[in-house]
Amino acid sequence: MSRIEEMIRELCPNGVEYKPLGEIGTFVRGNGLQKKDFTDEGVGCIHYGQIYTYYKLFTNTTRSYVPPELARKLKKAKYGDLVIATTSENVEDVCKAVAWLGEDEIAISGDAYIFSHYQNPKYLAYFFSSAYFQEQKRPLVTGTKVMRVSDRAMSKILLPVPPLAIQNEIVNILDKFTELEAELEAELEARRKQYEYYRNKLLNFKKFGGGILTI
């Protein structure tokens, strides 16, 4: 029996309870932040478009900043909140979520939701990337050129909510696989560059004293 199975038998012998997102947290929509507002320093911020073009599942740093005077007018995410892209040009990216793990509050743009809760934030971020979440999300997407999912619709999505101890254990396991995946990707990239180097070297016969053969 795996460690997770042992913990489930001990901590929730009647099975893991499933709850809608709306019961475990609250959605607040971001506001007012545009790309033209970005500065080189100031208060960290996340623009909804960066969620699926720059960030992975969680982060403790931001790519962009806004002036403090503007940040005071904007909705902010605190440690542990999810920042969710509510619009996208395709079904796959809409509802992409990143868990904010930085100490300071950050400003969030419109077309993004801040989801505040009391669960393990990385557990929720992993859930948002799961096939089970995607299956529930697809019927909720509206729009043609621009895809959207409202907070009211998203709040109905069900997720397993085991005790925090089990969530933490699941996160530890998935983190290890994520690290392994990153290592494998780095190894594959190194092998690809090695292959390209030797392919180009071996097929360039001028370097071996050869020339162009004409008939």
Q: pLDDT digits over 132-172, tens only?
A: 999 999 999 999 899 999 999 999 999 999 999 999 999 99
Question: 170 CB contacts (<8 Å, ≥6 apart)?
Answer: 4, 123, 126, 162
The whole-angstrom separation of Cα 162 and Cα 15 is 9
* Torsional sign, CA 11, 14, 15, 18: negative
Per-residue model confidence (pLDDT) at position 198: 77
Are 5 and 104 within one domain?
no
Q: Which residues of 164-203 are buried (b: 16+ CB within 10 A; e: fewer)?
A: eebbebbbeebeeebeeeeeeeeeeeeeeeeeeeeeeeee
The answer, yes or no, to whether residue 210 has pLDDT greater than 50, is yes
Of 49-63, 96-110, 121-135, 187-201, least confident by mean pLDDT is 187-201
Both 85 and 55 in a single domain? yes
211 assigned to some structural domain: no
Model confidence at 1, in pLDDT bands (50, 70, 90)? very low
- Region 81-85: mean pLDDT is 98
95 and 166 in a single domain? The answer is: no
Burial degree of 114 (CB within 10 A; 0-12, 13-18, 19+): buried
Confidence (pLDDT) at 156: 97
Determine phi and psi for 152, rounding to 5 degrees. Answer: -65, -40
Are 3 and 68 members of one domain? no
Q: Name the band, by pLDDT with cuts 50, 70 and 90, for residue 180.
A: confident
CATH number of the domain to which 74 belongs = 3.90.220.20
Percent of the chain predicted with pLDDT > 70: 93
State the average pLDDT over residues 95-122.
97
Residue 134 lies in a domain: yes
| pLDDT surpasses 70 at 110 | yes
Mean pLDDT score, 162-188: 91
- Same domain membership, residue 146 and residue 48: yes
What does the angle CA 18 – CA 158 – CA 58 come to, to the nearest 5 degrees?
105
Residue 212 scores a pLDDT above 60:
no
Instruction: Please tell me whether residues 12 and 37 are part of one structural domain.
Output: no
List Cα–Cα distances, 35 to 109, 144, 200, 212, in angstroms: 9, 24, 42, 53
Residue 119 in domain:
yes
Tokens at 115, concatenated: 């989801």
Q: How far apart are the first and last CA of the chain?
A: 72
All residues at 6 or more sequence positions from 194 whose CB lies less than 8 Å from its CB, including other chains: none
Provide the Cα torsion 123, 29, 26, 76; round to 10°: 70
pTM reported for the whole predicted model: 0.86
Please compute the mean of the pLDDT values over residues 182-200 and round it to a whole number. 86
Chain segment 42-78, per-residue pLDDT in tens: 999 999 999 999 999 999 999 999 999 999 999 999 9
* Residue 207: pLDDT band with limits 50, 70, 90: low
Same domain? For 176 and 142 the reply is no
- The answer to whether residues 27 and 100 belong to one domain is yes
Is residue 133 situated within a structural domain?
Answer: yes
Domain total of the chain = 2
Q: Let me know whether 12 and 71 are in one domain.
A: no
**Would 111 be classed as within a structural domain?**
yes
Same domain, 113 and 136: yes
From 143, 160, 177, give the residue that closes a domain: 160
Give pLDDT, residue 197. 82
Q: Which domain holds residue 34?
A: 21-160
Do residues 127 and 181 share a domain? no
Contact 133, 70 (CB under 8 A): no
Average pLDDT rounded to a whole number, residues 17-44: 96
> Which of 24-33, 166-175, 200-209 shows the lowest mean pLDDT across its residues?
200-209
